[in-house]
Amino acid sequence: MAAEATTVINAPDYGRTVYDLAVRRELIKIAEDMLGSAFDAAVDCAPQDQIQHAEQLLYEIAETGRYGGGFETFETALDSAIDRAAQAYQSDGRLSGLATGLKDLDARMGGLQSTDLIIIAGRPGMGKTSLATNIAFNVASAYDPTQQVDGSLRPAAGGIVAFFSLEMSSEQLATRVLSEQAEVPSSSIRRGEIGETDFERLLKHRQKMRRLPLFIDQTGALSIAQLAARARRLKRQRGLHLIVVDYIQLMQGRSQRAAQNRVQEITEITTGLKALAKELNVPVIALSQLSRGVESRDEKRPQLSDLRESGSIEQDADVVMFVYREEYYLKNKELGRAPRNTSPGNPR
C-alpha cells in the first residue's frame, strides 16, 4: 500500500491526470446535451444553430477546461479591473487599447478596447471601407508577438486581424491595400495603365506584406452564427486580436422569424457581434450603412437616428463613428446632380 502511494514528486503528473479526466467529463456532458437537443429539436430549429452552439461549448472547454458561463465573485471582477489598471500604469503613457495607427483617432479613443463593438457608419462613397481597411492593415503591420512564461504568444504591439468582407472580394481588398501602400492608383490597375516602375513598386510592397497576419473571409451573406464559428476557429488555430465586418446590412440573422423582420434581424446581428467581442475578448469593428434620409435634408452631417435599421445598433455599440466628407456633397451640388452611391474613383 505504501509503495502505491502518490508522493510529492508525482504531484504535477497526478494533477494533470485529474485535470484531463475532468475535461473528459465535461466533453461527455456536452455530447449528452447535444444528443438530447438533436433528438428533441423543433422542426423549424436550424441545424446551423445547434452546430454553432456545440462549437461554442467546445471552444469554452479548449480555453478554460470547462463550459457553461455563470456567476463569478466580485473579487474576481475586481482583480480583472486592477489588471487593466496595472497595464495602464505600466504603459508609460502608451495606449491602453489596440492602436489603429491613426494618431487623432487613437488620442480620442485610447485605442481599440477589448470587448468593444465599434460601429463605423456612413453613406456609400464616404470611405467606410477605406477607413476600416487602413485600421486592419495598421494593426496587422504592427504585430510583434512576444513569448510569455507559459509558452503562449502575446503581442507587444499590433495583432492578428480577421476581416469579413461581405461586399468586396479578397482580391479587391488586397488590391486596395497594395495600391495605397505602393502609391499606385487602383484605378490605373483596373484600366491596365501601369508602367514598369509602378509594377516594380507593387512587387516590392507585395514582398513586404505577404506575411501580414491579416485573414480575409469573402463569403457573402454570412450569418452571425457562421461568422462567430469562423472567428473562434481562427483564434484557436492562430490567435486573434481584432475582427472587422464589412458590413452589417449584408449579414443574415440566424432565425427564420428574424429574417421576416429586418429590424429584428439587425438586432440579432448586432447583439451577436457584441457577445462575440466579449467571448473572444477582442474589439469588433462593424461597418454600417446610413439611411437615405440623409440625402433628402439640407444638413448632410449624419446623426445616430440615421443608422439604417437602427433597432439596436446604437444600443449594442460601445462606440459609433460617422464617416462624412463635406466636399463630396459640395462637388455634386456644384455639378447639379444627386450624389451617386458608387463610382470607380469613390472610396466606399
Q: Among 58-67, 86-95, 239-248, whose mean pLDDT is lowest?
A: 58-67
87 within a domain of the structure (yes/no): no
Q: Is the pLDDT of residue 149 over 70?
A: no
Looking at residue 161, its pLDDT comes to 95
Long-range contacts (CB closer than 8 Å, 24 or more residues apart) made by 173-181 = 173/133, 173/216, 173/218, 174/216, 176/129, 176/130, 176/133, 177/133, 177/137, 177/209, 178/202, 178/205, 178/206, 178/209, 180/134, 181/137, 181/205, 181/208, 181/209
Long-range contacts (CB closer than 8 Å, 24 or more residues apart) made by 65-72 = 65/19, 65/22, 65/23, 65/26, 66/22, 66/23, 66/26, 67/26, 67/29, 67/30
β-partners of residue 144 are 157
212 within a domain of the structure (yes/no): yes
Looking at residue 344, its pLDDT comes to 41
Q: What is the CATH number of the domain that holds 327?
A: 3.40.50.300
Averaged pLDDT for residues 303-307: 74
Q: Is the pLDDT of residue 1 over 50?
A: yes
Instruction: Verify that 46 and 121 share a domain, yes or no.
Output: no
82 within a domain of the structure (yes/no): no
Between 227 and 261, the more confident residue is 227
Question: Of 244, 101, 269, 63, whose CA–CA distance to 163 is shortest?
Answer: 244
90 within a domain of the structure (yes/no): no
Averaged pLDDT for residues 269-285: 92
Looking at residue 285, its pLDDT comes to 96
Confidence of residue 338 (pLDDT cuts 50, 70, 90): very low
Looking at 68, 102, 121, which one is the last position of a domain? 68
Looking at residue 49, its pLDDT comes to 73
Looking at 37, 68, 99, which one is the last position of a domain? 68
Instruction: Verify that 177 and 53 share a domain, yes or no.
Output: no
Residues 191-207: pLDDT tens digits? 888 888 888 888 988 88
Domain containing 217 equals: 112-335
89 within a domain of the structure (yes/no): no
Average pLDDT, the chain: 79
Instruction: Verify that 36 and 139 share a domain, yes or no.
Output: no
Instruction: Verify that 61 and 121 share a domain, yes or no.
Output: no
Total domains in the chain come to 2
**Does this model's pTM top 0.75?**
no
Instruction: Verify that 157 and 43 share a domain, yes or no.
Output: no
Looking at 68, 83, 104, which one is the last position of a domain? 68
Q: Is the pLDDT of residue 218 over 70?
A: yes
Going by DSSP bridges, is the β-strand pair 284-289/117-122 parallel, antiparallel, or unpaired? parallel
Residues 229-273: pLDDT tens digits? 899 889 988 899 999 998 898 998 765 555 567 788 888 899 999
Looking at residue 346, its pLDDT comes to 46
215 within a domain of the structure (yes/no): yes
